[in-house]
Amino acid sequence: MKVEARIFDIVTVFAFLVAAIYGVMTHYMSGYGTEPVGLVALILTGGLALLAGSYLRFVSRRIEARPEDREDAEVSDGAGELGFFSPGSYWPIGLAASAALAGLALAFFHIWLLVIAVVSLLITIGGLVFEYHTGPNHD
């Protein structure tokens, strides 16, 4: 995961550098001062990349090196089971419908519909996360 963390670090530095250049250039080249929306968007992009890169760096210190992270790894080192993937689930459809409902509620600014959408989002996210949860084992 160190490679992924480095990629996000590069994106972070790039976004902050472009934000600084953008802020200076819009301040001096436009007649209205610094353009705030693009500047904030670039700063938030850099912050989000910093957040993701920091998480990946944090996790990479606590797990053993994957075959992708080792120089001496063979292709066969990455073989094997990758994890459990649901063979079929209806929760993503409900999640998409709830997100679409939330988008419509925000677009038309209907607070009552937004409350319904947020509740349905929480229910469908919970259903998706706990779909295969069997509870604690009581021996």
Which spans in the chain are helix H?
A: 2-29, 36-62, 91-108, 111-129
Same domain flag for 6 and 66: yes
Same domain flag for 60 and 98: no
CA 108 to chain centre: 26
What does the pLDDT look like over 16-26, one tens digit per residue?
Answer: 999 999 999 99
- The domain in which residue 62 lies consists of 2-70
Question: For position 138, what pLDDT does the model report?
Answer: 59
Same domain flag for 46 and 95: no
Does residue 84 fall inside a structural domain? no
Same domain flag for 6 and 62: yes
What does the pLDDT look like over 47-90, one tens digit per residue?
Answer: 999 999 999 999 988 888 888 778 888 888 888 887 777 788 89
